[in-house]
Amino acid sequence: MNPVIILDSSPLGLLFQKNGIKESDDCRAWLKHHVGLGDEVVVPEIIHYELRRELLRLRKTAAVKALDEFVQIVPDRLIPITSAALNLASELWAIARQQGEPTAPPEAVDIDVILAAQVILRYPIPQTYVVATSNLAHLSRFVPAEVWSKI
């Protein structure tokens, strides 16, 4: 059984760029390949929020609609943010800072630790999932992660 693929903001954002941008076209082909294999692809709600707010800011209404449809078309594709996830995220945030390895400025909402907490709670066995990203440095400290194009 293949691990569940969890989309971080970098590959998710590429999926909703216009056609003709090579990296975006490659990412859509990559996703189509994995879906064709029957791989489960999910999106943490914090990542949906992060991309959606930017698309709204840019007034890309068609992309917002496509993003919302993408996360709704498959039951349980969206990993919800829960109080338990936020509690765990606060612990991860504190530990990272205690170790002198923060993943975001102190005043920022650290989306990486919220993503990690959502994933850890939904998939307690690390071998069952991989986070598809372009940000290995931050995420791989908390969860199994790989550059999306290498999955």
Q: What is the pLDDT of residue 108?
A: 74
Position 84 confidence tier, pLDDT thresholds 50, 70, 90: very high
76 Cα distance to chain centroid: 14
Find all residues with CB under 8 Å of 4, minimum gap 6, and list them.
Answer: 39, 40, 41, 42, 123, 128, 129, 130
Nearest to 94 by CA among 110, 74, 78: 110
User: Does the pLDDT value for residue 102 go beyond 90?
Assistant: no
- Domain 4-150: assigned CATH number: 3.40.50.1010
Helix, coil or strand: residue 16: coil
Whole-number Å distance between alpha carbons of 28 and 18: 11
| Helices and strands in the chain: count of H runs, count of E runs | 7, 5
**What is the pTM for the complete model shown?**
0.93
Q: What mean pLDDT value characterizes the chain?
A: 94
Delimit the domains of the chain by residue range: 4-150
Dihedrals φ, ψ of 15, to 5°? Answer: -60, -25
> Mean pLDDT across the stretch 50-57?
98
Helix, coil or strand: residue 99: coil
Helix, coil or strand: residue 75: coil
Using the 8-state DSSP alphabet, how is residue 3 labeled?
Answer: P
Cα angle, residue 20 at apex, residues 25 and 36 outer, rounded to 5°: 25
Q: What is the pLDDT of residue 41?
A: 98
Q: What is the pLDDT of residue 130?
A: 97
